[in-house]
Structure 1
Amino acid sequence: MSDEPLAIDIGPAPFPAPESTRRPVRCRLCGRPLTGAESRRTGLGPSCDAKLHPPGPDIRTRRHEVDQDTPPGT
């Protein structure tokens, strides 16, 4: 046996590449480049996602005062 190290080609690094070498992901609605992990996962930027998925109505905005008669006996 010799004491020389074995030459093994292991290929590219198994961990994710830095942001600069990643393939650019663009918003499916407006085409701008996406940078955030959540935006890259969904394929939509924050403003475009808000356009397609607006928040639900707040129940407090639907409340209104109603004129009522006084209950009998009070």
Structure 2
Amino acid sequence: MGDEPLAIAIDSAERTGPRRVYCRLCGRPLTGADSRRTGLGPTCDAKLHPAPPDIRTRRHEVEQDTLPGLEPPAD
């Protein structure tokens, strides 16, 4: 056991703190936990994965014919 090499290089053991992670798209350093996990900053993530359109804004009233059998009774 005395002559076995170390698994970690000595110069890498000197660094303290988390290692720097950079955005895969623009190369800027990432600071947020979610950004570090995905590898994309919030701006670049929004470019690649745009939010879906809000369906509530597309709804509108449409004039329709009355369904057969649902007409009001004639007097």
TM-score if structure 2 supplies the norm length?
0.61
Kindly report which structure 2 residues correspond to 1:21-36, keeping only aligned pairs within 5 A, or say none: 22-36=18-32
User: RMSD between aligned alpha carbons?
Assistant: 2.0
1:7-28 Cα distance to aligned partner (Å, 9 max, x none):
xxxxx6xxxx43xxx3321100
1:35 positional shift: 0.6
For 1:63, the aligned partner's letter is R
Question: Mind listing any 5+ residue stretches in structure 2 that lack a counterpart?
Answer: 1-12
Going by fraction, where is strand more abundant, 1 or 2? 2
Question: Mind listing any 5+ residue stretches in structure 1 that lack a counterpart?
Answer: 1-11
1:63 positional shift: 0.5
CA distance in 1, matches of 2:60, 2:32: 40
